[in-house]
Structure 1
Amino acid sequence: MEKDKFQEVVLSYLIKLTEDMSVLKQDVSGLKQDVTVLKQDVTVLKQDVSGLKNKLDLVYDHTVGLSETQAVNLGRITKIDKDTSSLAELYGKHEVDIRNIKSKIGLN
């Protein structure tokens, strides 16, 4: 092969390699930009998840408080129910005693 022809072939390959390298550089640059955007998106997602965790903790704490209040209120309601039943029994007994006394003294 002639020297000039050889140089032309080598030069054409070098030009093609240079063009391919330029395209690869552009692709890598695009990928870097995409990675940067993904990192930003991940940062935003992490912040969102952190916010959701905080809100979930608040909901959990509030639920615990409501459960404790419900337990206390249930105890109070049970006591009121027992007191009411006892008062009703006592009222009935007193009514019987009053009627017995009235009948003894002749107030029927």
Structure 2
Amino acid sequence: MSLDDLSEDVETAYSDFDETLPVSLDRETRNELAVLQTVLDPDDPDELVRRAIHMLFQTKVETGSLDFHLRRGYNVTYDEYLSGMTFQEMTGAPQPPDNDGRRYQF
């Protein structure tokens, strides 16, 4: 897969989300959401879900986990996705060796 495939898949996923995204909650998640709702007292419980998604995304970016999954599935990094160009296209240099994914081992 490639950068173009990733961009297309992200656009498809984005368009699949309606204005409302129904999510079913298990008992544990419902309890945790209730505690957060009580303690943080947001105007809308949806705000807590938005914050949680932002936190998860940021954590995946900062730990390199997102790059690991992108490299594995699309052979690109998040930086390459944001720029719309692969490393090779940016520099004209050959792609660095994959090292069998060892760079992203945790």
Q: Between Structure 1 and Structure 2, which shows a larger proportion of helix residues? A: 1
TM-score by length of 2: 0.22
Whose Rg is larger? 1
Q: Using structure 1 for the length normalisation, give the TM-score.
A: 0.22
